[in-house]
Structure 1
Amino acid sequence: MQICSAREIAAFVQDGDTIVVSGCGWGLATPETLLEAIEQRFLSTGHPKNLFIVNALSIGDGGKRGLNRFAHKGMLRGIITSELFWTPSLQKLVYQNKIEAYCLPAGVIQQLLREVGAGRSGLITSTGLDTFVDPRQSGGKCSTACKHDLVELLHLHGREYLRYRPFKVDLALICGSVADLKGNISLNEEAVTLDCLHLAMAAHNSGGHCFAQIRDIVEAGTLPARSVTVPGVFIDALVEAPAQTIAYDTPYSPALSGAIKPSHPRIQSPLHDLARSIIAQRAAQELIENAAVHVGPGIPAGMRSTDRHHELVGKIWLSCEQGHHNGQLLGDTLYGAARGSEALLTSLDQYDFYSGGGLDIAFLGMSEVDHRGNVNISKVHGKVIGPGSFIDISQNTRKLVFCGLFTGADTQVKYSKNKLKIVKNGSHTKFVERTEHITFNAVNARKNGQEVLYITERAVFQLGPNGLILIETAPGIKAKRDVLAHMGFACKVDIQRKMPEHIFNAL
């Protein structure tokens, strides 16, 4: 097995290559040393140029690291990813239509690369139907520079499906903890396993190459067979990076890798923002024992600080798309990592669990909601953010609880004398006549028999036969004055009850 420097690997990359990259979020399982070396070569020589990058879960620090390293004029031809939240440099190129940008569901990207590695004719799935990735809408194209149709509609046995087309992979860049001198790679000291095996397989079986960044290299035959995630047959060279961290600015931690269990649960701090706390408390009322549960980032994650959630820990099965089951799922820059997980799957296996309908309930965010009940989180105010795992999860879960501030992030409320008062309405109309993107299709949800709620700090809506129905208001809230007057469409009102007072008393 060749052991190379990062500069030697960077010199191997050719103009126009299609490169698949492992990693997610704030640098989890990311070959950052290799990405930096490729960037430095381009800045010095102007090569490699016109690259096409594929990464399922997006990598970045909101500044210069991760996929941001490819955001130089002429370096990037295009990208397939699921989100651009951590990559503002790329987001700017997309907004300016300077690169081909395709945003697809994260799970779909990983499952498609598995099909590429297996030599099959693409991914056939219902995930993405009637959302913006459906070719009858935009086919996932997020810039006018896009030249290719990546998705097509199929009819099989009287049902509609999407076929995501395969493509050739020239290079895979992956990350591991330890490798032996035959190239066998273990990720046992990483916080996630992700889809490293299938990226390597996609490159190898496409006639391309796979390079792995590794913290430590050991003698051949010293790694236990069950600890090997990627066999050496797929690897062309190793790059040793002793300073490699478990995430950006986060050194190796046995608690994050799953090597040790915390002695006691770390209780998530209560939310300090009243409006967000109300949403979290109300959402937590939807938890039931023995449910398989997903809690998304942002406002929904606040639910993990509620008493109701603490009561049910050990009685629900909590997971995240990066592969963790139970444990203390982390947020912010360590979203996707966990302490004390009971199991850690590959993210690809987790997406199979999700797309097959394994989740009972999911708590997700919402940027816009229209009169039909469609939800948008992927394009807001003209800026493409991407769906992440939202489509994979929302389209295939039995019950959905969307959580968000009624009029945006600058909403201010006050609770006193058993009444909620709106101090200031936010500047963002969240409930609109028509969303910029359809990331969740309500018509599909009704056909599939999904139960759907939309929870805000002042009101709760339900998806009815013909669209949204206002079913709850907070104590002191007037439906017409505080809710309907701030919506971009007429909404049916069937107020069956007030939002439970005990959730306000718990604040």
Structure 2
Amino acid sequence: MNNRFISAHAAANLIKNGDTVCTVGMTLISAAESILKALEARFLQEGAPRDLTLVHAAGQCDRQRGNQHFAHPGMTTRIIGSHWGLAPRWMAMINNNEVEAWCLPQGQMVHLYGAMAAGLPGRLSPVGLGTFVDPRIEGGRMNARTREQPNLIEHVTFRGEEMLFYPAIPLDVVIVRGTHADEAGNLTTDEEAMKLEVLHAVLAAKRYGAKVLAQVKYRVASGSLHPKKVTVPGTLIDAIVVCDDPEEDHRQTSSWAFDPALCGDIRLPASESAPLPLDLRKLIGRIACRYLTPGCVINLGTGIPNDVIGAIIHEEQLGDQVTITVESGIYGGQQTGGTDFGIGRNLSAMISHQDQMLYYNGAGVDITFMGAGEMDPHGHVNATRLGASCPGAGGFIDITQNARHVVFCSSFTAKGLEIACEQGELRIVHEGEVRKLVPQVNQISYNGELARAKGQTMHYVTERAVFELRPEGPVLVEIAPGIDLERDILAQMDFRPLIAPELSVMDSALFQPQPCGLAARVSRS
């Protein structure tokens, strides 16, 4: 069985023209760089493999590496994924109509792998109804080239309820990554910073007789792996590549080649990190954190939420009252951010990506904090297509559709906005060039009308104003101290909002550098 250990070049040669290839990872975590780089090199040298379909659940880039190795015209002609916010080459190809591009909710994709593995024709789910994923709107199509194609997703009625049907996607190759492989091919993921959906993708591959290619850091003797630590049994893996340059091609994350705290092997002593400076992002996070409640389970989305809210909770000594989760499957601890989204140190738990999405889609979290790009008078929110940028949905639709309370975190305007917090008041130093409160969002990522119909609580939080979604639509309920309602808010919007009779001014403590007393506020809620 040792002949399953092959070079990266040999692994790349196993992929044929026209294959449908599935890769597993998130940001750069678990990216099989040795195999992906060899595949790209083969295409650039030989022009093959070409006409591939790339399938991926989460975004898998750090702006330079990851599944961007597939991003060449002719190499990939169709991509079915959820997120490209850290993949500039993919976003350029999508915008330039150089690839057929479908965006599906991240959670539905990882659940679809399980359905495929079970031999089912696809997955039924209400997730995505009323958003751009709904075939009655855009059907998940991300460019003009894709709009020429027939529907991939179907709108159906099942037992009297509206659903979307996400069809099975026959696979030819699945590429995964692990830590150890023994000589029987058994694979562990001990040093990975996430559990991900590795086994489910592999089982989906086996349903179609697809090849499973794995990259590992270590080759070990048969019998040396504890059976409970085996993520994928060797009988399910066809070829294994041992990375010859782990520092470069088997990095634990984009920023760290390996940190044992990120995979839970060690726990670091509690440290008092310096508070974040009171800038625009922290101010928005502070305002949003007022909606925390004792004992709540929250989700942090990418961007402002993941980058600042965990730090604010730590600074305000709220850690014992709040359970932080991220879509990758992590609980508690201190989250990293930016290109290392989805990981953390000193975690209380780490579950698989698929299991976490089952929780988000079923029980749902108490509060999700999400980034946003636009909102319109209907309460629709766009976070998936912003001008020439098409980051896609990621887990946004799965999580916001099912959370009990959605708190969007966004600057009021974009591109050039500068603020100052002075003596408990907010001052707009320079207004942004791009307006975010628009007559009609560019793409419906969150459907405000459906949210209102089911009574979901939603707030749209900015540095100067807070809107609350009410039965009549989004209503302006708060403004920052120092802000002029007409000049700084109404004149910077492209629609006239409803204004609450009880319009209030935010607490000036939020606009001062010292901790603002959130713990006392939460304990009273």
1:312 aligned onto 2:280: no
The structure-2 alpha-carbon separation of the partners of 1:453 and 1:69, relative to structure 1 and needing over 3 Å to count, comes to same
Shift of 1:198: 1.0
1:239 aligned onto 2:232: no
Three-state SS of the structure 2 residue aligned to 1:264 is coil
Work out the CA distance in 2 between the residues paired with 1:175 and 1:375: 35
Q: Which amino acid aligns with 1:421?
A: R
Higher mean C-alpha deviation, range 293-302 or range 332-341: 293-302
Per-residue CA distance 1:228-266 (angstroms, 9 max, x = gap)? 111112111111114222123522221111111111146
Work out the CA distance in 1 between the residues paired with 2:433 and 2:494: 13
Shift of 1:272: 4.8
What's the counterpart of residue 156 of structure 1? 158
Shift of 1:130: 0.3
Three-state SS of the structure 2 residue aligned to 1:245 is coil
Shift of 1:506: 3.9
What's the counterpart of residue 42 of structure 1? 43
8 Å contact from structure 1 (residues 112, 166) kept in 2: yes
Say which of 479, 490, 493 aligns to 2:485. Answer: 479
Work out the CA distance in 2 between the residues paired with 1:303 and 1:236: 43
Work out the CA distance in 1 between the residues paired with 2:47 and 2:276: 50
What's the counterpart of residue 53 of structure 2? 52
Work out the CA distance in 1 between the residues paired with 2:145 and 2:448: 30
Work out the CA distance in 2 between the residues paired with 1:451 and 1:308: 25
Q: Which amino acid aligns with 2:506?
A: M
Three-state SS of the structure 2 residue aligned to 1:115 is helix
Three-state SS of the structure 2 residue aligned to 1:141 is coil
Superposition RMSD in Å: 1.5
The structure-2 alpha-carbon separation of the partners of 1:417 and 1:175, relative to structure 1 and needing over 3 Å to count, comes to closer
1:504 aligned onto 2:511: yes
The structure-2 alpha-carbon separation of the partners of 1:422 and 1:249, relative to structure 1 and needing over 3 Å to count, comes to closer
What's the counterpart of residue 295 of structure 1? 300
- 1:41-440 alignment runs, 5 A limit: 41-63=42-64, 65-146=65-146, 147-242=149-244, 243=246, 244-248=250-254, 250-265=256-271, 267=273, 269-273=275-279, 275-300=280-305, 301-306=307-312, 310-440=316-446
Work out the CA distance in 2 between the residues paired with 1:33 and 1:431: 44
Work out the CA distance in 2 between the residues paired with 1:419 and 1:368: 25
8 Å contact from structure 2 (residues 405, 458) kept in 1: yes
Shift of 1:145: 2.4
The structure-2 alpha-carbon separation of the partners of 1:268 and 1:200, relative to structure 1 and needing over 3 Å to count, comes to farther
1:18 aligned onto 2:20: yes
Work out the CA distance in 2 between the residues paired with 1:344 and 1:437: 33
Work out the CA distance in 2 between the residues paired with 1:456 and 1:73: 39
What's the counterpart of residue 521 of structure 2? none
Three-state SS of the structure 2 residue aligned to 1:414 is strand
The structure-2 alpha-carbon separation of the partners of 1:93 and 1:78, relative to structure 1 and needing over 3 Å to count, comes to same
Q: Which amino acid aligns with 2:509?
A: H
Three-state SS of the structure 2 residue aligned to 1:254 is coil
Three-state SS of the structure 1 residue aligned to 2:414 is coil
Per-residue CA distance 1:102-129 (angstroms, 9 max, x = gap)? 0111111111111111111211111111
Say which of 457, 476, 479 aligns to 1:470. Answer: 476
Work out the CA distance in 2 between the residues paired with 1:410 and 1:78: 35
Shift of 1:148: 4.2
Identity of aligned residues (%): 35
Work out the CA distance in 1 between the residues paired with 2:318 and 2:11: 49
Q: Which amino acid aligns with 1:469?
A: V
Per-residue CA distance 1:319-356 (angstroms, 9 max, x = gap)? 11111111111111211111111111110100001011
Work out the CA distance in 2 between the residues paired with 1:119 and 1:417: 63
8 Å contact from structure 1 (residues 180, 220) kept in 2: yes
Three-state SS of the structure 2 residue aligned to 1:468 is strand
The structure-2 alpha-carbon separation of the partners of 1:116 and 1:271, relative to structure 1 and needing over 3 Å to count, comes to farther
Shift of 1:19: 0.5
The structure-2 alpha-carbon separation of the partners of 1:266 and 1:91, relative to structure 1 and needing over 3 Å to count, comes to farther
Per-residue CA distance 1:26-64 (angstroms, 9 max, x = gap)? x1011111000111111111110001101111212213x
Shift of 1:304: 2.4
Work out the CA distance in 2 between the residues paired with 1:100 and 1:271: 43
5+ long unaligned stretches in structure 1: none
Work out the CA distance in 2 between the residues paired with 1:114 and 1:68: 25
8 Å contact from structure 1 (residues 303, 309) kept in 2: no
8 Å contact from structure 1 (residues 134, 162) kept in 2: yes
Shift of 1:268: 6.4
Work out the CA distance in 1 between the residues paired with 2:39 and 2:404: 44
Three-state SS of the structure 2 residue aligned to 1:256 is coil
Work out the CA distance in 2 between the residues paired with 1:148 and 1:375: 26
Three-state SS of the structure 2 residue aligned to 1:480 is helix
The structure-2 alpha-carbon separation of the partners of 1:334 and 1:266, relative to structure 1 and needing over 3 Å to count, comes to farther
8 Å contact from structure 1 (residues 290, 316) kept in 2: yes
Work out the CA distance in 2 between the residues paired with 1:266 and 1:115: 45
Shift of 1:191: 0.4
TM-score (norm 1): 0.96
Shift of 1:183: 1.4
Work out the CA distance in 2 between the residues paired with 1:139 and 1:393: 19
Shift of 1:101: 0.4
Three-state SS of the structure 2 residue aligned to 1:59 is coil
